Structure 1
Amino acid sequence: MNTGVKIIAFTAALAATFAAAYGVGAATGPLASDPEPAAHAGHNRPASPGHSAGGHSGHADTTPAGLQISRAGYTLDLKTPRLTAGEDNELRFAIRDQEGQQVTTYRREHGKELHLILASRDLVTYRHLHPTRAADGTWSTPVTLPAAGSYRLFADFTPATEDTTNLTLGADLAASGTYQAPALPEPATTTTTVDGYTVTLDGDLHPGKAAELTLTVSRDGRPVTDLQPYLGAYGHLVALRSGDLAYLHVHPNGEPGDGTTEPGPGISFTATAPSAGTYRLFLDFQHDGTVRTAAFTVQADRTAGAPEPAADEEHGNHRH
């Protein structure tokens, strides 16, 4: 991954409220980057103002990512739209091209051809999954959903074609069973704990204005200075917007081995929220060979002089 911030803005179509942080635990991100330094291969942000969604249209698509099941001629085909809560399931899907054929060639990013995020619409549950692809283009991964309800699936990928940039497609997934909605923690605290680690958030999220967020990791009161690379970085940040689950994926400033980026305790990101509102942030970091996820609820408030994208006015446990 090249130095700088990466963002993927997605969009989802239904509104729902946030809920309590289930996604803070061992095995238990929204923001447009600005400026956009050398991006890692394929991550030109098609959902950012001034960028087109792949080389198929001359018009910029400013819609936040993840709200569309089809974009730039590609479609997320969810083959298992319903699962059973509390049971071991196999989640299966494919990416189809303009001719309806399943895509079988992708550009690798952070060591993977495709990254899969699964989150409940109440944002209680969060998964960063690593599916495997069959020769015919069908992706699959085991998953156990802890509670019944509505979930959103985000597929982050770049087809191996010359004219297509990075895309994130989203689709709804239902889990059957008895559903009880918990409450999302208020956006008041800047510190959370997970599996004996304390993670502190420094910085504010602003709509239409770039800001730096720094997340600092400590354990037993001591800074963690030997974070381990996970998918090519010391940390990954995913943010989901309350209501429509607009998806924002931000990569950190700097990378392991670049000569300047330290392995902790702080991990910094430069990010721009697409609108005012409440967001749920999920930080993935690895230490002592285990990936952990820390979650925060934050409020992005309008600030004087910070423009808000017009498109937004119109129209977030690891299992390996």
Structure 2
Amino acid sequence: MEVVNFVNGKTELYGILGDPIEHTKSPFIHNTLFKQFNINAIYIPIHVNEVCLENVINGLKAQNISGFNVTVPHKKSIIKYLDDISHDALLMGAVNTVKNIQGRLKGYNTDAEGFVRDFKEGLDTNFKDKRVMILGAGGTARALAVKLASEGIEHLTLVNRTEENAKNITELIKNNYGGIASYMLPDSTKLFDQMSQSHIIINTTPAGMSTYLDSTPFNIDYVFDKNQVVYDVVYSPEKTKFLLQAESYGCKTRNGFGMLINQGVSAFEIWTGNIVPRQMAIELLNKIIKMKDFPK
């Protein structure tokens, strides 16, 4: 019998809260990083339904948990149970990472940071003075809009079927970063004109996922310029119909899997203060892709 000694009285506890939670790859990411950096810690999935969320947070705080991630459906509702929240997360209206700082729980949002990190590293470009179009106006679009505005983009165009959602994000950006944002509906006659002026186009809708496999955002047959960069936050399948359309025009493209890994890396860095080298993050990404139960 082998004696298991990697958990002891000094082991720090981390985890992820969500409902459902069975699919998460976060334990693999963080337990691998803890081992790589020789940190005495363990990361576990914690199934939490909305009714129990407050009690669970109070229990984790009493347990002196070191930190945890938050996934659907709790990214917004958890805010009212935290002691502090970062400025970016407040603007984004969502928290996916929580750190215990001397008994106080502080919320952060690393989703957008993960996106920016993956975009810059994977596509070898940045956002300064770029014109960007975001398709969709949900929680992910809001987080990316705030982050991109802080990165110094020239202009942001939001495209969404529900005008109210797009308008709310546009007003949020205008109130905090100036008049650099606008929105339009997908059936606007000016859509392709605005699109042709965009350097970067980002899909944040679920179009192209397994349940919407043959769909593109708003079911549009897009016409791209070969000099445009196209990003889809969907990572399964590896190439959505939207990305395949962009590639057919010669565009640089990237899916959202690197965003998933890098938001986890950013959370790890917030918790531990350790910086994860780019090559280590790439190796971690490749290992997860090779996992047997990773969705192709």
- TM-score (ref. length: structure 1): 0.25
Q: Considering Cα pairs closer than 8 Å and 6+ residues apart, tell me whether 1 or 2 has the greater RCO.
A: 1
- TM-score (ref. length: structure 2): 0.27
The structure with the largest alpha-carbon Rg is 2
Q: Looking at secondary structure, tell me which structure has more helix per residue.
A: 2
Q: Looking at secondary structure, tell me which structure has more strand per residue.
A: 1
